[in-house]
A and B are shown apart, each in its own frame.
Chain A
Amino acid sequence: DIVMTQSPDSLAVSLGERATISCKSSRSVLYRPNNKNYLAWYQQISGQPPKLLIYGASTRESGVPDRFSGSGSGTDFTLTISSLQAEDVAVYYCHQYYTSPRTFGQGTRVEIK
């Protein structure tokens, strides 16, 4: 199974500041024939189902604010919130859909400092 490891487990950021979350996979999730990374990021606000933010490592889902961006390839990925807003307080998960069993990272809790 591909193990997804996020860091940190939690972080506190001041409003308007940058938040950065790392996700590392135990094996590459890059499919070389099409050069696509099968990596997504989800936001889960307390009491709600997860919401898709990013897929393909860097493609923003329709309607997601452009302060959210994803980068990386192979085994190392990053989710960046460029200017943290109050409504961004949530747990964020990375997820590989490269192979089954599909797996999630353990989650990173983002709070306001």
Chain B
Amino acid sequence: EVQLVESGGVVVQPGGSLRLSCAASGFNFDDYAMEWVRQAPAKGLEWVSLINYDGGSTYYTDSVKGRFTISRDNKRNSLYLQMNSLRPEDTALYYCAKDNSVGAIDYWGQGTLVTVSS
């Protein structure tokens, strides 16, 4: 059974940093691209970032470029999101997500809540 478990969400001040983690199990982690998607309170889904199967390619939405870094450790079956220079508008539930073989997200974690507030 595929499981994605996010951690690291906390309350942080504007300008602060945070690293989110996602522990994956139940599938061959190093075969699939992984993504981060966020959802602000009572809002829709917003795609954040993607990393390919071996970490060689990464992609970001414009609003986080230069501030967020996605990475993975295939030996530890883990995905990460380093978040710097955080802004109030980064406040959201952050989901870790797995791609299927054709690039669609087929599994989601339960999410970890990041709150950026003074």
Interface residues of A (CB under 8 A from B): 1, 36, 38, 40, 42, 44, 49-52, 55-56, 61, 91, 93, 95, 97, 100-107
On whether the beta carbons of B106 and A61 are closer than 8 Å, the reply is yes
B108:A101 contact, CB within 8 angstroms? no
A93–B105 CB distance below 8 A? no
Closest-by-CB residue of B relative to A52 is B106
Could you count the A-B residue pairs with CB atoms below 8 Å apart for me: how many are there? 62
Nearest neighbor of B104 in chain A, beta-carbon distance: A55
Q: Which residues of A contact B102 (CB under 8 A)?
A: 36, 38, 55-56
Inter-chain contact B104/A107, CB cutoff 8 Å: no
Contact status B45-A104, CB under 8 Å: yes
Number of interface residues of B (CB under 8 A): 23
Q: Does B13 contact A (CB under 8 A)?
A: no
Tell me whether B59 and A100 are in contact (CB under 8 A): yes
User: Which residues of B are in contact with A by a Cβ distance under 8 Å?
Assistant: 35, 44-47, 50, 59-62, 95, 99-100, 102-111
The answer to whether A107 touches B95 (Cβ under 8 A) is no
On whether the beta carbons of B111 and A102 are closer than 8 Å, the reply is no
Query: Across the interface, do A93 and B50 meet the contact criterion of CB distance under 8 Å?
Result: no
Shortest distance in angstroms between B78's beta carbon and chain A's nearest beta carbon?
19
A103 is contacted by which of B47, B50, B104 (Cβ under 8 Å)? B47
Q: Judging by beta carbons under 8 Å apart, are A104 and B44 in contact?
A: yes
Name the B residues within 8 Å of A61 (CB-CB): 106
